[in-house]
Chains A and B, each alone.
Chain A
Amino acid sequence: MPFEVSDLSADVDAAAGEYADKEYLWTLNFGPQHPATHTTLRLILTLDGEKVVKAVPDIGYLHSGFEKLAEDLDYNQYVTIVDRMNYLSPLANEIAWHHAVEKLLGIEITPRCKYVRTIIAELMRLHDHLLNTGTSALDLGAFTAFLYFFQQRELIYDISECASGQRFHSSYTRVGGVLFDVTNEWVEKVRSFCRGFRAVHTEVDGLLTRNRIFIDRTKGVGVLSKEDAINFSCTGPVARASGVVRDLRKDEPYLAYPDLDFKVICTTGGDCYARYLVRMHEMLESIKLIEQAVENIPSGPINVDPEGKAVLPNKSNVYQSIEGLIHHFEVIMPNRGFATPTESIYAATESPNGELGFYITADSSSKPYRARCRPPSYIHFAVFPHIIPGHMLSDVVAVLGSLNIIAAELDR
């Protein structure tokens, strides 16, 4: 059973069957290797001149079996895999995963850990929105915004490198805490990032928000009504741009969000421009959140009490005392670890892209029996074939960019 590039003609025939009497329609294969998709997805577009009549997405070009892999790794190891799920905001996935695991095990994390995770989650929201806004402007011909924003991303990389040692896929969180406690240097880096960010944001805002070409390319394009947004299960910026006032940070508060002051950004336009505006304003709210949180990090331990057998003991303890070493092995060794209930749980956090939930089924062993991820990209991309008909071919790029489709999260 050797695999072939799936036969385009079959899809073309299917499209032609529907439009058999309309010979003027033609079919365009878009992807899977196309600069504007940024990732690997394929669209089969039926076009009337330049107007899109029908779009059939074909995905799975990056399906790598994340959920099957979860059944082979334990709760701490799997964090390295969820990192690679939405690679624009890796740490947000870790936080979502361990949020679900901690809910399953009934662990209440320490206040310090809550604040650190909140700061990281908001940095990751910036991380995602910076690249998404930058590239969607890049696709519409504005290169400068991309470079300005990428420079800010590099600073966030530095912060994440300072905390964990890896700039991209940090694997920073652990069950009941994080890998290392944060240092003063890290706090200073976050502060200096916050100081510089607003200027760059204003600059890009000036470049794009009232730019005539940008507005013409995005306003009224890819309109998603509020009813459709709910019916299609949209969450996050895509839903908020359509007027669905829903943000898990407010509705089901977790981490340190109840203590902090921020607004949920909503508009009612529902088009690409509205989604752009929501992302731009969310960045400012995120910066506000980070500034509040970083000045109020409580002192105290960052991990929950290691006697609970859930978190790894301190490394210096492991290397210098036999009790610490035994404790370490007790947690690490297969079939030891911490006890899990034979239960299932669904827990979600507000990731930059929308509601990122995990449905974990545990079977009292050290590995999840099944770990389902609710990927926002996958659900948002299902909307695409419904909102694109009637648009021009060049609008496909604008809509794809504003929905923020990440292939690794789309296909998992």
Chain B
Amino acid sequence: MTEIQHSAVLLLSEQFGFDASAWSRNRDNVRVRVDSERVFEVLKCLKTLGGFDMLVDITGVDELEYPNATDRFRVVYCLLNTSTGERLIVLTYVNDPQPTLPSAYPLWKGADWMEREVFDMFGITFTGHPDLRRILMPEEFTEYPLRKDYPLRGRGERHNFPVITRAES
């Protein structure tokens, strides 16, 4: 594996002792894998010392059917340094039951709705989030639709309404 040229490589190895095994790259995406317990410290370090001042995206992947997967959920933080234009992707993994991560809201306010969406779609809770409610699905909904064990066409929720006929109105 070729040496990864990235400003965060040195920073994270100094601060947390990350070695080359934590890093990977695919074309121009540089990725670092972090334990779920340390993700908040790493993000904080990247923001304050590494200059990654924008959180571009938070998303999740349910790895239930993914080849050679060892953990259930992957959570992806895409970071961007707006002054140098450098990007970094932080990966972390959480597992059933009760997948939980610390919220990144204290660092970036933009994390607010992104984390709510991950919670809504995957059921991953973020501790320390100010207002963790469902955002896209109705409050009464009980499932997490983007999990792989939830069928594409749902379980009949979409047709659970009273019918109004012409005779009535």
Contact = CB atoms under 8 A, between A and B. Distances in A.
Given A355-B56, A369-B61, A372-B59, A68 B110 contact: no
B101 interface: no
A381 B112 CA distance: 11
B142 A1 contact: yes
Nearest to A60: B136
A320 interface: no
Interface string B115-140: 00100010000000000001111111
Interface stretch (B2-10, B11-19, B37-45, B156-164): B156-164
Interface string B48-81: 0000011111010110011110000000101000
Given A231-B108, A233-B55, A359-B76, A2 B161 contact: yes
Contact of B53 (A230, A252, A361): A230
A342 B67 contact: yes
B110 A72 contact: no
Given A3-B138, A361-B61, A230 B109 contact: no
B109 A231 contact: yes
A69 B135 CA distance: 19
B110 A231 contact: yes
Given A67-B146, A68-B145, A357 B138 contact: no
Contact of A374 (B56, B67, B135, B136): B56
Interface range on chain A (Cβ under 8 Å from partner): 35 or more
A370 B62 contact: yes
Contacts of A1: 140, 142, 157, 160
Interface in A1-16: 1-4, 6
A223 to B, nearest CB: 16
A233 B108 contact: yes
A307 B157 CA distance: 45
B27 interface: yes
Interface in A312-347: 342-346
Contacts of A202: none
Contact of A363 (B66, B110, B142): B66
A214 interface: no
Nearest to B138: A3
A6 B137 CA distance: 11
A2 B67 contact: no
Interface string A357-398: 101010110000110101000110110001000000000000
A286 B147 CA distance: 41
Contacts of B114: 233, 379
Contacts of B76: 344, 346, 359, 372
Contact of B138 (A60, A345, A379): A60
A379 B113 contact: yes
A381 B78 CA distance: 19
Contact of B152 (A72, A230, A357, A382): A72
Interface string A61-101: 00101011101100000000000000000000000000000
B32 interface: no
A344 B26 contact: yes
A271 to B, nearest CB: 19
A166 to B, nearest CB: 26
Contact of A346 (B29, B109, B146): B29
Contacts of A228: 109
B82 interface: yes
Query: In the complex, which of the residues B67, B68, B136, B146 has the most CB atoms of chain A within 10 Å of its own CB atom?
Result: B136
A364 B161 CA distance: 40
B97 interface: no
Given A60-B138, A346-B89, A71 B113 contact: no
B10 to A, nearest CB: 23
A275 B61 CA distance: 35
A370 B60 CA distance: 9
Contacts of B68: 342
A251 interface: yes
A367 B144 CA distance: 21
Contacts of B161: 2-3
Contact of A233 (B56, B66, B136, B139): B56
Contacts of A342: 67-68
A386 B29 CA distance: 32
B27 to A, nearest CB: 6
Interface in A207-258: 228, 230-234, 244, 246, 251-252
A60 B120 CA distance: 11
9 contacts: A4-B140, A230-B54, A231-B54, A231-B108, A232-B109, A233-B55, A346-B29, A363-B67, A379-B113
Top 8 A-B residue pairs of the complex, sorted by shortest distance between their CB atoms: A233-B110, A60-B136, A382-B113, A63-B136, A372-B59, A374-B57, A232-B110, A370-B61
Interface of A: 1-4, 6, 59-60, 63, 65, 67-69, 71-72, 103, 106, 228, 230-234, 244, 246, 251-252, 342-346, 348, 355, 357, 359, 361, 363-364, 369-370, 372, 374, 378-379, 381-382, 386, 411-412
